[in-house]
């Protein structure tokens, strides 16, 4: 352990020193990637601006300039947005199904008046690239695009088909994601997918390289409305049943309820790694639970884990009230009261099962509990693959010696949840490294270390050659 941390820290010090060294001389491949980066950052691909099709067309032209033909590239219009599919045809020698490579072209919007500089102009400053989407997820888009361009230019023929799948509204409606995941049988037959919008390397504040948490599962995001209704009346004549009080009782029940403890191979591996990093009572509890969730020792560990708001979401579905709306006048009894309850649902648990649990917890047949959006879907975990993990280790250790790869579950949502639901196991494999809390995706001055951008440009090439290159016998 001490040796690993020393090596990692030395690598990080060199990494940051390079980032602060000023202008670097770019190789032709680095310069080409940077120009694509600059161009796509300039496109305001947030919802309502209609710029995603323009970005898809630009990327298609760049890929054609590298040798891809019209039959290799498909732009898929969906409303005001679009998806992009690019196929690098294999020779079929492996007999294996295709691999998908995921990214999304859209961004969360950013207002010029909120930022110090124009968020849609790529800026390089103090060792960082700054701008909306530099991390989420235009770095993934650029990195995969330049990877496919370089492979095509160099005449690389994989032993199976490789398919880039770029969606156009991951940050909002996921209409392109749903269409590509559920309505395209040619994509659904893939053996697995690698997602550039998930995972990535991290540094602790002291510069230590943290384990690389390879996303293999996502909690389902689902929102419910709990509503109490009442005939109401004049506030001078209170009645025993009151919509606000009924709703308040229901919310207290939800607050006190704990969903059943759950675990799978992915969450246990992540908890074990987190426990080793955290140390102390919480670290010990995480490891004990990961080793055997059903042991007697785990009962105490569960209490410790639930009491910590940074770990309580590891072991179960969670639901929490986030918004309230009630009443219509200060001198009238409320005719309705509604609470928004947001749930993060453990992989494999159905949304309707959670709704039924909330109905039971509320314990008032007069109250309505409904899902606010029928687009919410549950998603299974993807069983970790040894070949993917080994390829990731090989690629990442060219940058950081002895880095540890750990399967993990995220509580947020990406395109991966729909591809998993569509039958394609999906794994986070992003190339970016950042200090914890440094990127500020979705926020002001979103940024990526310059050296992380350039340092990761070979990441996908190494992965692809490991996973789909000619066999040694050839």
Domain ranges of the chain: 2-217+379-468, 220-263+306-371, 264-305
| pTM across the whole model | 0.89
As assigned by CATH, the class of the 220-263+306-371 domain is: alpha beta
Using CA atoms, how far apart are residues 327 and 243, in angstroms rounded to an integer? Answer: 8
Using CA atoms, how far apart are residues 143 and 36, in angstroms rounded to an integer? Answer: 9
Residues 372, 224 contacting (CB under 8 angstroms) = yes
Q: Which pLDDT belongs to residue 375?
A: 81
Residue 423's CB is within 10 A of a number of other CB atoms, namely 12
Q: What stretches of 22-137 show up as alpha helix (H) in DSSP?
A: 28-41, 52-65
Q: What is the mean pLDDT of each run of 10 residues along the chain (474 residues)?
A: 34 47 82 98 98 98 98 97 98 97 98 95 97 97 98 98 98 96 97 96 88 94 96 95 97 97 94 93 96 90 94 95 97 97 95 97 97 89 96 96 93 90 97 89 94 97 96 51
Residue 9's CB is within 10 A of a number of other CB atoms, namely 16
Q: Which pLDDT belongs to residue 1?
A: 34
Q: In the chain, what are the helix, strand and coil shares in percent, each to the nearest 5?
A: 40, 20, 40
> What is the Cβ-side half-sphere exposure of residue 179, based on CA atoms within 13 angstroms?
20
Burial of 231 (0-12, 13-18, 19+ CB in 10 A): exposed
Structure tokens at 371: 């899902």
Using CA atoms, how far apart are residues 311 and 289, in angstroms rounded to an integer? Answer: 12
Q: Which pLDDT belongs to residue 23?
A: 65
Residues 461, 229 contacting (CB under 8 angstroms) = no
As assigned by CATH, the class of the 2-217+379-468 domain is: alpha beta
């Amino acid at each position: 352990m001490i040796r690993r941390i020393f090596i990692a820290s030395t690598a990080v010090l060199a990494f940051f020193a390079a980032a602060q060294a000023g202008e670097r001389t770019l190789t032709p491949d680095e310069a080409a990637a940077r120009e694509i980066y600059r161009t796509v950052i300039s496109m305001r691909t947030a919802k309502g601006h209609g710029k995603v099709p323009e970005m898809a067309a630009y990327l298609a032209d760049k890929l054609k300039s590298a040798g891809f033909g019209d039959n290799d590239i498909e732009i898929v219009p969906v409303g005001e947005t679009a998806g992009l599919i690019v196929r690098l045809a294999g020779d079929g020698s492996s007999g294996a199904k295709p691999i998908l490579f995921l990214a999304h072209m859209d961004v969360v919007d950013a207002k010029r008046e909120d930022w110090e500089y124009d968020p849609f102009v790529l800026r390089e400053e103090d060792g960082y690239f700054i701008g909306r989407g530099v991390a989420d997820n235009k770095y993934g888009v650029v990195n995969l695009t330049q990877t496919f361009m370089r492979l095509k230019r160099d005449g690389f023929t994989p032993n199976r088909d490789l398919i880039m799948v770029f969606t156009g509204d991951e940050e909002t409606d996921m209409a392109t994601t749903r269409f590509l995941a559920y309505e395209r049988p040619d994509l659904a037959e893939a053996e697995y997918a690698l997602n550039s919008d998930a995972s990535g390397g991290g540094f602790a504040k002291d510069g230590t390289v943290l384990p690389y948490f390879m996303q293999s599962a996502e909690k389902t995001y689902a929102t419910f409305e709990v509503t109490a209704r009442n005939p109401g009346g004049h506030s001078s004549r209170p009645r025993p049943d009151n919509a606000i009080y009924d709703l308040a009782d229901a919310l207290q029940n939800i607050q006190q309820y704990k969903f059943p403890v759950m675990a799978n191979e992915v969450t246990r591996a992540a908890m074990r790694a987190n426990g080793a990093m955290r140390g102390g009572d919480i670290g010990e509890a995480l490891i004990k639970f990961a080793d055997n969730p059903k042991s007697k020792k785990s009962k105490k560990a569960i209490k410790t884990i639930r009491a910590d708001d940074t770990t309580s979401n590891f072991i179960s579905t969670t639901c929490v009230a986030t918004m309230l709306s009630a009443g219509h006048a200060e001198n009238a009894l409320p005719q309705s009261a509604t609470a928004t309850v947001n749930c993060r649902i453990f992989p494999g648990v159905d949304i309707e099962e959670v709704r039924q649990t909330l109905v039971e917890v509320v314990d008032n047949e007069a109250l309505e509990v409904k899902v606010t959006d029928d687009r919410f879907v549950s998603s299974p975990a993807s069983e970790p693959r040894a070949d993917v993990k080994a390829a990731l280790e090989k690629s990442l250790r060219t940058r950081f010696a002895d880095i540890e790869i750990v399967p993990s579950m995220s509580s947020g949502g990406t395109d991966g949840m729909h591809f998993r639901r569509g039958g394609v196991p999906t794994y986070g494999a992003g190339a970016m490294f950042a200090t914890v809390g440094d990127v500020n995706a979705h926020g002001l001055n979103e940024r990526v270390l310059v050296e992380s951008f350039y340092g990761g440009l070979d990441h996908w090439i190494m992965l692809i050659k490991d996973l789909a290159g000619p066999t040694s016998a050839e």
